[in-house]
């Protein structure tokens, strides 16, 4: 398997090997939240007409960094229900019923993500800081020794979550079945999702929930990788590459 690639995208980008890193401006203290996008490479362009993709891509920006310079967000939700279908629609509870004590990205990608967290997280040891890691597992890739008053995890496997030493509490929940976060409004300073957003089949509802549970000025950080379980990733993810235009 090729090395995974993970990038942090922002208006100012500096390259370092396969990684690009920079900062986005934190939301003001009266509005919430700003979303930090960590974009990776899609290897699963397996569906559809490749020639059609190539023609469309010829008029599209060449890199994720260029896309995010001027992202052209649509005014209306552009996606269709079929974009969130998956090859394996059996219960996610069954799929995640046994623990996987492995890392799903390589050491270089983990290092880049941890370094980014260290730059944007509140200082360690603050009792009034609360952090939430959704789609969490046995490791969250947070900086070594990082502590806060509360670090909550929400994931699919109890054994994995119980082994995650950074967490102060955790909840086992299937967000694809019920995209509701079991937390009060304005609870968290930071919400992270490490290389798992491509498995969410109701992402808009989940992102609304992230907005609800974040404190004013809070920060949401999503990371994406070119590695995934292809049978459980949504079709929009497996059918497109890094900068592939959406086919309607």
Q: Encoding tokens for residue 99? A: 């623990």
- Determine the pLDDT at residue 98: 66
Place of tokens 């082994």: 163
- Alpha-carbon distance of 43 to 87, in angstroms, equals 16
* Residue pLDDT, tens place only, 199-230: 898 999 999 999 999 999 999 999 877 767 77
- Alpha-carbon distance of 78 to 31, in angstroms, equals 25
Whole-model pTM: value is: 0.73
Q: Are 131 and 151 contacting, i.e. CB atoms less than 8 angstroms apart?
A: yes
- Determine the pLDDT at residue 72: 76
For the cut 80, the answer to whether the pLDDT of residue 104 exceeds it is no
* Residue pLDDT, tens place only, 140-173: 999 999 999 999 999 999 999 999 999 999 999 9
For the cut 60, the answer to whether the pLDDT of residue 101 exceeds it is no
- Determine the pLDDT at residue 247: 57
- Determine the pLDDT at residue 73: 79
> What's the mean per-residue pLDDT of the chain?
75
- Determine the pLDDT at residue 204: 92
- Determine the pLDDT at residue 30: 43
What domains lie within the chain, and their CATH numbers?
Answer: 6-70+78-238 (3.40.50)
- Determine the pLDDT at residue 4: 42
- Alpha-carbon distance of 155 to 153, in angstroms, equals 6
């Amino acid at each position: 398997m090729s090395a995974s690639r993970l990038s942090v995208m922002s208006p100012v980008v500096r390259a370092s090997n396969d990684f690009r890193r920079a900062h986005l401006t934190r939301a003001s203290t009266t509005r919430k939240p700003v979303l930090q996008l960590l974009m990776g490479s899609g290897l699963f362009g397996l569906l559809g007409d490749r020639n059609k993709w190539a023609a469309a891509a010829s008029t599209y920006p060449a890199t994720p960094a260029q896309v995010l310079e001027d992202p052209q967000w649509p005014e209306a939700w552009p996606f269709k229900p079929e974009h969130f279908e998956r090859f394996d629609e059996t219960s996610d509870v069954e799929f995640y019923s046994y623990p996987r004590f492995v890392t799903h990205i390589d050491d270089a990608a983990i290092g880049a993500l941890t370094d980014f967290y260290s730059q944007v997280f509140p200082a360690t040891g603050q009792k009034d800081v609360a952090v939430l890691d959704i789609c969490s597992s046995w490791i969250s890739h947070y900086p070594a020794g990082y502590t806060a008053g509360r670090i909550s995890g929400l994931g699919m496997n109890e054994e994995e979550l119980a082994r995650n030493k950074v967490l102060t509490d955790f909840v086992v929940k299937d967000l694809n079945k019920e995209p509701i976060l079991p937390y009060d409004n304005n609870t968290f300073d930071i919400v992270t999702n490490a290389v798992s957003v491509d498995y969410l089949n109701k992402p808009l509802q989940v992102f609304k929930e992230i907005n609800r549970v974040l404190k004013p000025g809070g920060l949401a950080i999503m990371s994406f990788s070119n590695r995934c379980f292809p049978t459980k990733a949504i079709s929009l993810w497996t059918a497109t590459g890094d900068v592939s235009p959406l086919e309607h």
